[in-house]
Amino acid sequence: MIAQVMRIGFQRLWHGRLEMLLVFIVPVVFFSIFALIFDRREEVGSGEVATALVDLDQTPLSRAVFARLASDPLLRVSTAAPPTEPAEWEDLTASCQEVLSGRAKLAIVAPAGWADSLMRSDPLTLTIAADTSDPVAPRVVEALVHQAVGRTIAELQIPASPAAGSSPEAVASPFGAPVRVLDLLAEGKSNPVVSQFAAGIAVMFLLFTASGNAGSLLEEEETQTLERLMCSRLSMSKLLLGKWLFLASIGFLQVLVMFGWAQLMFGVDVLGRLPGFLLMTAVTAGAAASLALAMAAACRSRAQLNAVSTILILTMSAVGGSMVPRYVMSESMQQFGRATFNAWAIDGYNKLFWRNLPATQLGPELAVMAVSAVALLVIARVLAMRWETA
């Protein structure tokens, strides 16, 4: 019986040409428009920047510079733990785990011997290891670092050499302390920004598709088809489970088409992250299907469902990061956005395609989406009891 419900759903979709267009073509068009616009990395505002301080120098100058940076209101600073073995701190990448794991947007690294090198003609470089998903933060912090170094050197009256910098990309401050920005995450990616917009757009249209198809419950109620189904051997639980499987399957295929397009046209490495991508897409599609069924069970008509779902989905998409990247939002708004599917799903996809983290790091996102799917499906079942008692 469950398979029969699924077959009817697919037949309904196949004969609805406009619905096919909305499910598979419109999301890709919208995604392409957003990708082409924002791939140019337009300048946007940036809030308080989560920054890790990695002091490998451990001199009075480096400690004074980092203390000045830590007091800056534009930075939310975390300080790396003191080294236990000097060898552990020689690898810059290992010193920037806060950035690679997503706990900080930037890590400011003072190399060992940095303060002493300022009196030579080839001073060592202060490095800002950056997550450039927020393109503004590295520029802001680079200016703050130049300012902090210059003022601290002047206060301590250190006779620094006015060198040009120890590497081509390093920019020297007026006091001879070169600073460079190292992009930790974009290197090696053919199109590093597009994957973020693919995730945001895919989740938003996934919610619209699920809510639209869940409206078939209300249509069946209006045509008394639901009443006849309840008189058969089909129970309400089996009906909802069949609907849920259908909605989740369509959502899964929709996201698959979206990211397939992203791989073909924009170079997003979907095949290279396939296990994690399939897991994330499966739980996201399941949660969206459960939300759609809960909304349909709570509404009294198709028109009411359309209005409620449109408002709810647009709101979730706005605060959850589907329409506007969350890094341009305030810290409180970013935390508020984590109450939405969009934020958790986007964070999961970003871990895969932006941070190159393995699927084993998706635990929080998979757990939240899976629990949401089960909880909302239970809510839908409880609300659907009104059709059994009618």
Whether the CB-CB separation of 128 and 138 falls below 8 Å is answered with yes
Helices (H) and strands (E) in the chain, counts: 17, 6
pLDDT of residue 230: 77
Q: Considering the chain, what percentage of its residues have pLDDT values greater than 90?
A: 15
pLDDT of residue 178: 80
Whether the CB-CB separation of 207 and 292 falls below 8 Å is answered with yes
pLDDT of residue 86: 46
pLDDT of residue 283: 94
Q: Are residues 337 and 359 located together in one domain of the fold? A: yes
Q: Is residue 268 part of a domain?
A: yes
Q: Are residues 246 and 350 located together in one domain of the fold? A: yes
At 361, which amino acid appears? Q
| Structure-block tokens of residue 226 | 């639901």
Q: Is residue 80 part of a domain?
A: yes
Q: Are residues 34 and 54 located together in one domain of the fold? A: no
Q: Is residue 44 part of a domain?
A: no
Of 43, 17, 3, 68, the C-alpha closest to 136 is 43
Residue 116 neighbours by CB distance under 10 Å: 13
Q: Are residues 55 and 35 located together in one domain of the fold? A: no
Q: Are residues 223 and 78 located together in one domain of the fold? A: no
Of 270, 132, 251, 136, the C-alpha closest to 195 is 270
Q: Are residues 115 and 229 located together in one domain of the fold? A: no
| Strands lying side by side in the sheet with 171-172 | 75-79, 49-55, 106-110, 126-130, 178-183, 171-172
Q: Are residues 57 and 31 located together in one domain of the fold? A: no
Q: Are residues 15 and 106 located together in one domain of the fold? A: no
Whether the CB-CB separation of 218 and 305 falls below 8 Å is answered with yes
Q: Are residues 283 and 343 located together in one domain of the fold? A: yes
Rounded to 5 degrees, what angle do the CA atoms 367, 373, 376 make? 130
Q: Which domain holds residue 311?
A: 1-39+191-387
What is the chain's Cα-based Rg? 26
> pLDDT below 70 — which residues of the chain?
17-18, 21, 30, 33-47, 79-95, 158-176, 186-193, 328, 330, 390
Looking at the DSSP assignment, which residues form a beta bridge with residue 179? Answer: 126, 171
pLDDT of residue 288: 92
Looking at the DSSP assignment, which residues form a beta bridge with residue 180? Answer: 127
* CATH code for the domain of 172: 3.40.1710.10
CA distances from 343 to 118, 218, 285, 320 (A): 44, 29, 14, 4
Domain count, the chain: 2
pLDDT of residue 188: 62
Q: Is residue 336 part of a domain?
A: yes
